[in-house]
Chains A and B, each alone.
Chain A
Amino acid sequence: MTRKTIFVLALALAAAPAFAEIDLSGSWQAINHEDALERGAGPNPDDWAGLPFNESGRAKALSFSQSIISMPERTCWFQTQWHIAAGPFSLRMWAVPDPITGKVQAWMIGAWETRAPMTIWMDGRPHPSKNAPHDQTGFTTGVWNGNELIATTTHLKSGYIRRNGAASSDQATITTHFRRHGDLLTLTLIMDDPVYLTEPYILTRSYNLATNPVAIGGPPCIVGDEGVESGRVPHYLPGKNPFVDEMTKRYGIPPAAAMGGAETMYPEYREKIKAAFKRPEKCTINCG
């Protein structure tokens, strides 16, 4: 084939529409307008309203003491892939091409603090055996549904769903849907956890395409000795959690609502708490 032939063919191909896949690469500035407190400074202690807990999930959350992350074994407990949904961070996305074929082998997502970049394998490789080791990063594969990228993450270690002790188990699966509309990117993240949830938990995040580059990654979570004596696991025994009514007193929300459960996610629940709710006269803390 002559050079001219190649040029003409290339021109013809360039005129073609992209039949699937949309370019997600670039720096994406987080828009933290919803759940601003949860994603910023952090949620109120023992506020699990809107979380589809089962009894085990609730009991585990109630036993949570923030000091637990001083244990070397749990220092990085907050850094599973769910951090992309629950944290406040912007994203940097880039594609990694196969050096021979040029096809995208993986999408990488970096930039949120204390996490290594996330790899979404796009080359059709299977997930490892269920007996393979689990870690904070897990194992993620992606497929395109037209212009929607769907990523599935398994092989996670136990981590958090909300940064106040609500936990996910090592059996959890996270499905992340990436939808781009011009300079706006929306992620829908679905956590399915048969151990601690009665139904999937859904969070959404939106981002603006940014011209200023977002750093590819912050410093990793490093395990260190914070002086917790070996063998001690900071926790609260049942009925002894001292923060259990902090959020409910602050906002006048009935205690049962703060304990979560699937029913707290649906409109009917408003009627259930209407009589018990007492709206505070004025916001006094974290008012925006």
Chain B
Amino acid sequence: MKKIALVTLAILAAHATAFAQGRGRGGAPAPPQTAKAAAPIDVTGYWVSVVTEDWRYRMVTPAKGDYQGVPMTPEARKIADAWDPAKEEASGEVCKSYGAPAILRVPGRLHLTWQDDQTLRMDTDAGKQTRVFHFGNWKPASGGPHTIQGDSVAVWEGGGRGATDGAMKVTTTNLKAGFLRKNGVPYGEDTSLTEYYELIAMPDGAPLLVVTISTTDPMYLRQPFVITSQFKKEPTDAKWHPTDCSATW
């Protein structure tokens, strides 16, 4: 029986070492790693959209009433049917289709950088938007304002062990109402967003950033709206071309 106990302890100890990330050996626990240091994948740099899907909805402005694929509620349809791009332009609310649920569908470039050890920042050239991904114990201010890009909390998932399967999971709330598509498909202020940022190796080894985006809106969507956008890495900012939001193009 002693032997069994010893073998069991040895196996459990071996497993425990595999879990020992962030802990010192035989001493006081080491301070937790920062998000930057713990990143299982490197998503920083310049990235360009690769538009192979939903081309008609992304590269040009779709016609009024063209809602293919979006699980809209009847209420959403009513709102979208009343879409008037000229009115939108005149109202000055031209960034409605550049909010967090839609921004990665807008053809353009992303620039991802570490703002500090616990905060990743994403800038877009199309629409000149900025998203901020907070790691750690950061919490959005209760009752804070709703904004175009909302409040985003990020965590790392997976990765390590020599694998590149890690992902950045981002949850976004406190969004200002906007459009999922340029032609007025609406989302409301109670919308929440879950995204997974992952790196895939292309056949030539180059990284491809793939983002799975799940948008939940109790008001305007019958079920979560799930889409995926992909981006190729660019070596420099040479093609970075900031442009203003547009309600018509």
Contact = CB atoms under 8 A, between A and B. Distances in A.
The answer to whether A and B come from one shared complex is yes
Interface string B146-183: 00000000000111110111110100000000000000
A188 B201 CA distance: 10
B108 A267 contact: yes
Contact of A34 (B11, B53, B71): B53
26 contacts: A9-B4, A13-B11, A15-B15, A16-B11, A31-B226, A35-B53, A35-B69, A36-B68, A146-B161, A148-B165, A177-B210, A179-B210, A181-B157, A188-B200, A202-B50, A202-B230, A251-B56, A265-B50, A266-B50, A266-B51, A267-B48, A267-B108, A267-B241, A269-B107, A283-B65, A283-B66
Given A17-B15, A17-B18, A33-B70, A277 B60 contact: yes
B226 A145 contact: no
Interface string B191-216: 00000101010110000101010100
B64 interface: yes
A196 B160 CA distance: 38
Contacts of B230: 188, 202, 204
A204 B164 CA distance: 19
B45 to A, nearest CB: 17
A34 B180 CA distance: 12
Given A50-B52, A175-B203, A251 B161 contact: no
Given A267-B108, A270-B60, A282-B64, 4 more contacts: A12-B12, A34-B54, A184-B212, A267-B48
B20 to A, nearest CB: 12
Interface in A130-146: 144-146
B212 A181 contact: yes
Interface in A30-86: 31-37, 49-51
Contact of A49 (B15, B55, B198): B55
Contacts of B210: 177, 179, 186, 188, 204
B62 interface: yes
B61 interface: yes
A249 B228 CA distance: 28
Given A146-B164, A279-B60, A50 B157 contact: no
